[in-house]
Structure 1
């Protein structure tokens, strides 16, 4: 009985001492080359297991930013945001896109640091902006946009 109590106490202490991390999700609308502003708007609905960010309308050259604390305690690494996107060009080829996840491999896709994921809507599709270098001293970031989904008509 004493040994199992000790093991349980050590497990609880390990779980409680795991550091929480800050996550940042940014969705940018860089759709251009269309004469009507109405046609370049981006409709976005994002949610996680804990939060529903509801539908948002993102105008051209604007973005929406959400900051949150990620769950980083084994076995509860569950922070994941999923989104649906609609534009005048259609929807993403996957109805629901995972745009932020605490899974190690996924976070590496976002780039340096992995706690910030930037997604960009352009006229030809939906991109993940991978951060290659982050120079905090001068606020400059080097990045590459990786096409993740072309717009498709499904409705």
Structure 2
């Protein structure tokens, strides 16, 4: 009886151990084009996670920023999450703070194939999630999904 109880405890303990950490990748791109003044086309970005504050950064048109990191996916504390604020010459995103990467399975599936990379793209009409898919031949393909139009908040 004692031996069976030990093995039962061991199996439960192994099931609750942290899942292996994985590499995450977040990329923000400024694709605001067709604007007469470069100043209006710039994108101000501030991102942070539970552990790191990446501070404010300015992206000119056609520039991007890439962050790679190790994700924490320990049940029940799935906690790696990056949130950002965005400002452009067209306003801010509708939600003042947007979650741009999260280890929560539903969110990662939104990013597309693999789920460990999230691409976000600023365009003149709004802010997009660039979803990664695969075509019939297995090659990566990207589909832009509008997540927020630019709005003025005063």
Please confirm whether the aligned pair reaches a TM-score higher than 0.5, indicating the same fold: yes
Q: Give the whole-Å Cα distance in 2 for the aligned partners of 1:5 and 1:29.
A: 56
Equivalences, count: 150
Tell me the CA shift for residue 7 of structure 1: 7.6
TM-score using structure 1 length: 0.87
The match for 1:75 is: 76
Change (3 A) 1:5 1:83: farther
SS at match of 1:151: strand
Tell me the CA shift for residue 102 of structure 1: 0.7
Residue-by-residue CA offset, 1:32-73 (whole Å, 9 max, x unaligned): 001111111100001111010100101100100000101011
Which sections of structure 1, spanning at least 5 residues, go unmatched? none
The match for 2:146 is: 147
The match for 1:35 is: 36
SS at match of 1:83: strand
Q: Give the whole-Å Cα distance in 1 for the aligned partners of 2:72 and 2:9.
A: 21
TM-score using structure 2 length: 0.87
Tell me the CA shift for residue 18 of structure 1: 2.3
SS at match of 2:74: coil
